[in-house]
Amino acid sequence: MNRKFKIKIFADGADLAGILEMTRNPLISGFTTNPTLMRKAGITDYEAFAKQVLAEVSRLPISFEVFSDELPDMERQALKISSWAENVYVKIPATNTRGESTRPVVESLARAGVKLNITAMTTPAHIAGMLPVLAGGPPAIVSVFAGRVADSGRDPVPLMHECLAIIEDTPNIELLWASPREILNLVQADAIGCQIITMTNDLIAKIPLLGKDLDEFALDTVRMFDRDAKAAGFRL
């Protein structure tokens, strides 16, 4: 793979060994995690895990998410999380579980100088609603779950174009293509000018496949079927 990307790739996960592996990967420009990934990884002490990670990730940006559903407590958690290190971005969902906008919390935190990652967005309207309280403030990321948009049967590319247009005059805000499903999404996000994409370690491992000869790919597939049939001891 000789392709150069303008987009920044952030490794998405909550496995400490995997995070450490990605710190040595020159393609990686930052990290993200969330409560769901942390639970899947068996993490029970949120703060202890975060500080373990920050002991190893001290220069690249890394996002940790609040987990309270109440707006005042969300703000309290965000201030605590942001105090852990200069490279920390605090992830705030665009709404709580009742659909209440977190804009008042985002506004307060931005005024306090907290670097923010507004997450769980799926429409340009979500970004437009947060723009007035983010524009001109500290560095901020707006994470649009393009993978979930695609899961709904919609092409995320036009939608992400709209999102980019909304933030084009706000240099402190970057658009993040969240939850990609395939390497093609990296190519798409880079082509339209997205600033960041999150990728799991498994997906990052597929990046060297970019541009692979399709005849070679077909032969690899046949060899895989042959190898697995033999390993299974199939007989007819």
Answer yes or no: pTM beyond 0.75: yes
- Give me 94's structure tokens: 């665009």
Supply the DSSP symbol for 7: S
The CA-to-CA distance between both ends of the chain, in Å, stands at 41
**For residue 76, which amino acid is it?**
R
Total number of domains in the chain: 1
What is the spatial distance between Cα 57 and Cα 23, in angstroms, rounded to a whole number? 7
- How long a stretch of residues is the chain? 236
CA distances from residue 161 to 117, 118, 140, 151, 189 in whole angstroms, order as listed: 19, 18, 18, 18, 9
pLDDT score of 1? 54
pLDDT in tens, the chain (236 residues): 556 899 999 999 999 999 999 999 999 999 999 999 999 999 999 999 999 999 999 999 999 999 999 999 999 999 999 999 999 999 999 999 999 999 999 999 999 999 999 999 999 999 999 999 999 999 999 999 999 999 999 999 999 999 999 999 999 999 999 999 999 999 999 999 999 999 999 999 999 999 999 999 999 999 999 999 999 999 99
Q: Is residue 220 part of a domain?
A: no
Q: Is residue 236 part of a domain?
A: no
What is the spatial distance between Cα 184 and Cα 186, in angstroms, rounded to a whole number? 5
What is the spatial distance between Cα 116 and Cα 85, in angstroms, rounded to a whole number? 13
pLDDT score of 19? 97
Q: Produce one character per residue of 7-33: b if its CB has 16 or more CB atoms within 10 Å, e if not.
A: bbbbbbbbbeebbeebeeeeebbbbbb
Q: Is residue 225 part of a domain?
A: no
Structural domain of 25: 8-211
- 3-state class (DSSP) for residue 228: helix
Q: Is residue 230 part of a domain?
A: no
Number of helices (H) and strands (E) in the chain: give both, helices first: 11, 8
- 3-state class (DSSP) for residue 172: coil
Q: Is residue 152 part of a domain?
A: yes
Q: Is residue 19 part of a domain?
A: yes
Q: What is the CATH number of the domain that holds 163?
A: 3.20.20.70
Q: Report DSSP letters for 38-82, one per residue.
A: HHHTT---HHHHHHHHHHH-SSS-EEEE---SSHHHHHHHHHHHH
Is residue 66 a contact partner of residue 92, using CB atoms and an 8 Å limit? yes
- 3-state class (DSSP) for residue 34: coil
What is the spatial distance between Cα 160 and Cα 145, in angstroms, rounded to a whole number? 10
Q: Is residue 193 part of a domain?
A: yes
What is the spatial distance between Cα 4 and Cα 191, in angstroms, rounded to a whole number? 11
Q: Is residue 216 part of a domain?
A: no
